[in-house]
Structure 1
Amino acid sequence: MSIPYVLLGILATGPQHGYELKRQHDARFPEARPLAYGQVYTTLQRLARDGHIEVLDTQADGAPERTRYCVTHDGVKKLRLWLAESIPPAPFITNEIFAKLVVALLDGDRTVAAGMLSRQRDMYKSRVEELLARREAVESSPAAALSLDYAFDHLAADLRWLDTVAEVVDDLGEEISNTGQRHA
């Protein structure tokens, strides 16, 4: 996720200070890693330096100072350009489960791979059940529901892949073992 653009998008709804931006982010992206305050303020400094946001005012009111920021014309332009860009699918497989599977199959002992796949599948199934239970509780929040649906759909795809791989683990192990021998 591109934090600078997300913060620009939130600021496009109206001026806010860093604490509000963090809360807004965490509320709108409940399945994402919560933002650290340091990350918010570092990003705000960069956005201000680059002319995409500016300080609107600083409020104290007997509490710690809070600087409110607003998006600039250049910031809105940058945000709209980002929103218009399509995101290509990832060109390479970078999934750690896939890497573990290949390594587990290298030595020819399929039980290691089968055990890893079974444990991984159980973990994913538990997470799916957790998301389904939470999904019913967030019906009134479209952003939370979309976030949970996104997480659920990715887990469901991973579970399908784990099932497919579990069915062909012996054949796949042979292929991986032979590939290494041919190139040695």
Structure 2
Amino acid sequence: MSAPFVLLGLLGDGPKHGYDLKHAYDRTLPRAKPLGFGQVYATLGRLERDGFVAQAGQERAGGPDRTTFAITDAGRVELERWVGEVESPAPHVGAVLLAKVMVALMWPDSGRAVRYLAAQRAAHTARLRELTAVKTDPDAGVGDVIAADYAIAHLDADLVWLRTTLARVAELHRGEPQ
């Protein structure tokens, strides 16, 4: 999970409290699943336990006390190690999309997989259009565009696979009673 390292990176430019870190995380990764406040504080607790962050003070801005955290030297070293580490390609295919196609192929209804693949291709195409609109939105920030590019590349790869698999499955079932 990258959330602890993103939080360490966000602390790189100075101390922050959990509330600010949560919002900065969501701004930094605008198309990712938002990080919950509970997850922020639990992660900060683990980072503090491991010596990667330290409490830097308390603030009170018209509400409850807010603990401010700062990255430690050990945290900077760990962050540098993580950023420099090349991600290994996944050794196994574990996508839900693949699992659904494989299960659909097991059913006696030979057209089920073809119908599913066609419907999934339509859903992917619709999402591709939405993301393309993000890239042309004049109010989109660079983070939005980079995240859209990333998602589009994955959707493109899925669409190639869907098209190939649909043709393969349709060919297998030609001539079978529907």
TM-score by length of structure 1 reads 0.89
SS at match of 2:58: strand
- Is 2:148 the counterpart of 1:152? no
Per-residue CA deviation, residues 67-102 of structure 1 (Å, 9 max, x unaligned), is 111100000000001111111100001011111111
Alignment of 1:12-23 (within 5 A): 12-23=12-23
Per-residue CA deviation, residues 113-151 of structure 1 (Å, 9 max, x unaligned), is 000001101111111111111121267622221111101
Long gaps (5+) in structure 1: 175-184
Q: Percent of counterpart pairs with the same letter?
A: 40
Alignment of 1:27-106 (within 5 A): 27-106=27-106
Change (3 A) 1:52 1:173: farther
Are the equivalent residues in 2 in contact too, given 1:108–1:173 (CA < 8 A)? no
For residues 163 and 7 of structure 1, the distance between their equivalents in structure 2, rounded to whole angstroms, comes to: 39
For residues 163 and 139 of structure 2, the distance between their equivalents in structure 1, rounded to whole angstroms, comes to: 30
* 4+ aligned runs moved over 3 Å, structure 1: 170-174
For residues 160 and 139 of structure 1, the distance between their equivalents in structure 2, rounded to whole angstroms, comes to: 30
For residues 146 and 152 of structure 2, the distance between their equivalents in structure 1, rounded to whole angstroms, comes to: 10
Aligned residue identity for 2:24: Q
- Is 2:25 the counterpart of 1:25? yes
Give the structure 2 partner of residue 181 of structure 1. Answer: none
SS at match of 1:20: helix
Long gaps (5+) in structure 2: none
For residues 15 and 148 of structure 2, the distance between their equivalents in structure 1, rounded to whole angstroms, comes to: 28
* 1:109 CA displacement: 3.0
Change (3 A) 1:25 1:133: same
SS at match of 1:34: coil
Aligned residue identity for 2:153: D
For residues 31 and 92 of structure 2, the distance between their equivalents in structure 1, rounded to whole angstroms, comes to: 24
Per-residue CA deviation, residues 31-75 of structure 1 (Å, 9 max, x unaligned), is 110000000000001101111001111011332211111100000
For residues 123 and 170 of structure 1, the distance between their equivalents in structure 2, rounded to whole angstroms, comes to: 19
Change (3 A) 1:104 1:30: same
Give the aligned CA root-mean-square deviation in angstroms: 1.7
For residues 92 and 173 of structure 2, the distance between their equivalents in structure 1, rounded to whole angstroms, comes to: 21
